[in-house]
Chain A
Amino acid sequence: MTITTTMTTTMTTSVTPTMTTSMTLFHIRYRDTQGTLMRLLNAVSRRAIQMPYLETSPESGLQRLTLSLDVTPKQTGQLMREWSATIDVVEVLASAANAEQVEQPKPPQEVWAVASHAAAIAMGQA
């Protein structure tokens, strides 16, 4: 028995383009309910992204998670959207991290005012 196939056009095998990564600081404010922190971290680990720095601390009745990750813009968008959709997450922000911030990770306060484009999209405002 023979089955051969025809195609309307020639197939090309595409290779995923490598995108450049950059160190990015993420700040997430969430209600500290069962499993919420694990869900946030799982969004990172399921993409096999290293977590060189993370810190979580209480902040005005909520919990705040700060992560510094070496990510592509696409990963940034994916993470922001996944975190924003996580129940009990109140706010997600991102900012480019400079070397100093990575070593000295307490972000300057003004970072909180800088909602990224991705966050705006995630909230349907872009």
Chain B
Amino acid sequence: MPRGAELVLRCLRQEGVDLVFGYPGGAIMPLYDALEGSGIRHVLSRHEQGAVFAAEGYARVSGKVGVAFATSGPGATNLVTGIADAKMDGVPLVCITGQVRSTLIGTDAFQETDVFGVTLALTKWSRLVTKLEDIPAVIAEGFYWARSGRPGPVVIDIPVDLMKAAASGLAPAIFLAPQKPQQQKPHASQDWTQRVVALLQSAQKPVALVGAGVKLAHASDKVRALLDDLKIPSFATVHGLGAIDPAAPHYLGMVGMHGTRAANLALHETDLLLVLGARLDDRVTGEPSTFAPYARIVHFEIDPSQLDRVRPCEVPVVGNLAETIPALHLAMASAPRPDWSEWLATAAHEDRGAEQPTGLTAPATQFLDDLFAMLPPDSIVVTDVGQHQMWAAQRFRGSNPRGFLTSGGLGAMGFGLPAAIGAQLAAPGSTVLCVSGDGGIQMNIQELATIHRAGAPIKILIVDNQYLGMVRQWQGLFYERNYAETDLSDNPDFVGIAKAYGIDGRTLGLDCMNPENTEATAQTLREFVRSPKAELLVFHCPREANVWPMVPAGAALNQMMLRDKEPEALEV
């Protein structure tokens, strides 16, 4: 006699799920009991936050919905950071949580939390299932919303008694979405193309800002074709990295707080800003009141709630970028256009180019350059959060649209290692490099056990500066070098920890960057990248290296701090 738990798994199979990440407990035990023979592989994380970040990593690389299981109460609350992360970054995610017995709901029973209430503000859609027969429709609808429009997180909370109940006669369902006005293809109107063409025709200094939406819409090729044709300066947010070929002559690099000087200046000077699938986060805009002060804005976006967040745009183009971008391209094909070559030459001129990092920063970025140069083209770089994240974003030169994963909106430390697990399982044939800090790695270091058991050949780099470096940088710049509670000089032996989990590791001291060690270091990096197993590499980077350039919080994008002064006076 099939039970509710089996029905849940059949519904997941119908949605195309063959891999889930999770952690068992009392209220979700029937689901675990039914796993064997369900056709669904379960990867046991060692913390529910690890499971949800791994599900996100899987979703970000595969484009499919990531699925995480957790039990009621503490299991479910441990998912919260990952749910918030998926909301911010538009990641399709379904979390299935076990709930206490239906009759106990609302009684503060053992391990009861109001998961529906706790996650309401963080989810795109959620349900507490109250009837067995609702399970198929709820799961079908949940998956629909997780992947539709701007993807996002869904929570489905199922009381344990429903999972245990006999479920004969029930089968997976299909969800047909109700129409609402903004879903009726506003881009179908030709009106907006004419307006955008007219704006482009009158623009002297147009630019394109490329965000995550381009990747989510699988529109990288179409955006590349448009920009290669228009030849206007382009740049990417941290989530847009890889959407544009970094070798394209119009590409100026990453924009925003730690973006390139060329990109930030072009964004400040532009008179027509094409925003392609970006939320315009304050890390991208700098001080909102001084953001792109001379620009009219055309915003291509699938989710209307992301429009006008900084200031009203002249033309909102609400729709799927895979359709709206070709429509604009087509309209521009026959339209006369100004010659923007001089503007592009100015924007991309070498005197605006990235200064080579100097002083303490140079070894850190040079190390990443050397390592990234050895990665095969389809590699995936997954970062944690902090200085190493920004260095990795600045130095990333990959052109795989799903090749750079980071917690950009939420900025959640602890993301990197578990997300790399999901990424590796989504792309088993690709090299996955996790770049973490010595602080962030310790937020989910237990996932080394997951990596070991899954046999995932992830390459884990710890950029070890023995500080919570990004916070230390701000303390240095804005808090008179009061390095309160950011010192990590008593870090554990990371290689020893990895070995205890069955993962090999080694350490490279800062002297690996000395010219006499170039060949030995290159050899170590080669072995690291090419190893068929998971490997840890700890790189001791200068303790007080900073990320440059930097637009301080509250400043305009053209108010960049470029580097530490007097690098020659700095100690290593």
A50 at the interface (CB under 8 A from B): no
B194 to chain A, nearest CB (A): 15
A39→B120 contact, CB < 8 A:
yes
Q: How far is the CA of A122 from the CA of B149 in the complex (A)?
A: 14
Task: Return the chain B residue nearest A31 by Cβ.
Answer: B178
Task: Return the chain B residue nearest A126 by Cβ.
Answer: B316
A8 at the interface (CB under 8 A from B): yes
Q: How far is the CA of A7 from the CA of B544 in the complex (A)?
A: 19
Count residues of A near B (Cβ-Cβ below 8 Å): 38
Most chain B CB atoms below 10 A, which of A5, A10, A124, A126: A124
User: Within 8 Å CB of B564, what residues of A?
Assistant: 3-5
Q: How far is the CA of A89 from the CA of B570 in the complex (A)?
A: 58
Q: How far is the CA of A65 from the CA of B569 in the complex (A)?
A: 64
B477 at the interface (CB under 8 A from A): yes
User: Within 8 Å CB of A38, what residues of B?
Assistant: 117, 120
B289 at the interface (CB under 8 A from A): yes
Task: Return the chain A residue nearest B314 by Cβ.
Answer: A126
B539 at the interface (CB under 8 A from A): no
B307→A1 contact, CB < 8 A:
no
A2 at the interface (CB under 8 A from B): yes
B287→A14 contact, CB < 8 A:
yes
B316→A14 contact, CB < 8 A:
no
User: Within 8 Å CB of B570, what residues of A?
Assistant: 1-3
B305→A85 contact, CB < 8 A:
yes
A82 at the interface (CB under 8 A from B): yes
Stretch binding the partner chain, chosen from B165-173, B180-188, B328-336: B180-188
Q: Given contacts A4-B566, A5-B477, A42-B121, is CB(A85)–CB(B304) below 8 Å? A: yes
A121 interface neighbour in B117, B180, B307, B571, Cβ under 8 Å: B307
Task: Return the chain A residue nearest B154 by Cβ.
Answer: A87
B476→A3 contact, CB < 8 A:
yes
B26 to chain A, nearest CB (A): 24
A125 interface neighbour in B186, B290, B544, Cβ under 8 Å: B186
A14→B554 contact, CB < 8 A:
yes
Q: Mark B543-567, 1 if CB is under 8 A from A, else 0.
A: 0101000001011001111111110
B555 interface neighbour in A3, A11, A34, A84, Cβ under 8 Å: A11
B487 to chain A, nearest CB (A): 14
User: Within 8 Å CB of A91, what residues of B?
Assistant: 181
Q: How far is the CA of A122 from the CA of B303 in the complex (A)?
A: 9
Q: Given contacts A5-B564, A8-B562, A11-B555, is CB(A124)–CB(B318) below 8 Å? A: yes
Task: Return the chain B residue nearest A2 by Cβ.
Answer: B569
A124→B559 contact, CB < 8 A:
no
A120 to chain B, nearest CB (A): 10
A104 at the interface (CB under 8 A from B): no
A111 at the interface (CB under 8 A from B): no
A122→B305 contact, CB < 8 A:
yes
B277 at the interface (CB under 8 A from A): no
A121→B308 contact, CB < 8 A:
yes
User: Within 8 Å CB of B116, what residues of A?
Assistant: 34-35
B332 to chain A, nearest CB (A): 20
Q: Which of A1-32 contact B (CB under 8 A)?
A: 1-14, 17, 31
A123→B186 contact, CB < 8 A:
yes
Q: Mark B281-311, 1 if CB is under 8 A from A, else 0.
A: 0000001011000000000000111111100
A8→B304 contact, CB < 8 A:
no
Most chain A CB atoms below 10 A, which of B121, B181, B558, B564: B181
B338 at the interface (CB under 8 A from A): no
A42→B120 contact, CB < 8 A:
yes
Q: Given contacts A81-B308, A87-B125, is CB(A5)–CB(B558) below 8 Å? A: no
A77 at the interface (CB under 8 A from B): yes
Q: How far is the CA of A42 from the CA of B121 in the complex (A)?
A: 7
B305→A121 contact, CB < 8 A:
no
B128 at the interface (CB under 8 A from A): yes
A90 at the interface (CB under 8 A from B): yes
B544 to chain A, nearest CB (A): 7
A58 to chain B, nearest CB (A): 18
B303→A85 contact, CB < 8 A:
yes
A84→B182 contact, CB < 8 A:
yes
Task: Return the chain A residue nearest B555 by Cβ.
Answer: A11
User: Within 8 Å CB of A121, what residues of B?
Assistant: 304, 307-308, 312, 316
B554 interface neighbour in A13, A35, A84, Cβ under 8 Å: A13
B145→A87 contact, CB < 8 A:
yes
Q: Given contacts A42-B120, A122-B305, is CB(A5)–CB(B287) below 8 Å? A: no
User: Within 8 Å CB of A39, what residues of B?
Assistant: 120-121
B453 to chain A, nearest CB (A): 37
Q: How far is the CA of A13 from the CA of B54 in the complex (A)?
A: 40
B304 interface neighbour in A4, A12, A123, Cβ under 8 Å: A123
Q: How far is the CA of A120 from the CA of B463 in the complex (A)?
A: 48
A60 to chain B, nearest CB (A): 15
A-B contacts, 24 of them at CB < 8 A, read A2-B566, A2-B570, A3-B546, A3-B564, A8-B558, A8-B559, A8-B560, A8-B561, A8-B562, A14-B287, A34-B126, A42-B120, A42-B121, A81-B304, A81-B308, A84-B304, A87-B124, A87-B145, A89-B180, A121-B312, A122-B305, A123-B181, A124-B182, A124-B187
Contacts A5-B477, A35-B116, A121-B308 known; list 12 others, CB within 8 Å: A6-B565, A8-B561, A9-B558, A10-B559, A14-B290, A39-B120, A42-B121, A77-B312, A81-B304, A123-B318, A124-B317, A124-B319
Closest 7 CB pairs of A and B: A124-B318, A124-B186, A85-B305, A81-B305, A122-B304, A4-B565, A123-B182
Using a CB–CB cutoff of 8 Å, the interface residues on chain A facing chain B are 1-14, 17, 31, 34-35, 38-39, 42, 46, 77-78, 81-82, 84-85, 87, 89-91, 121-126
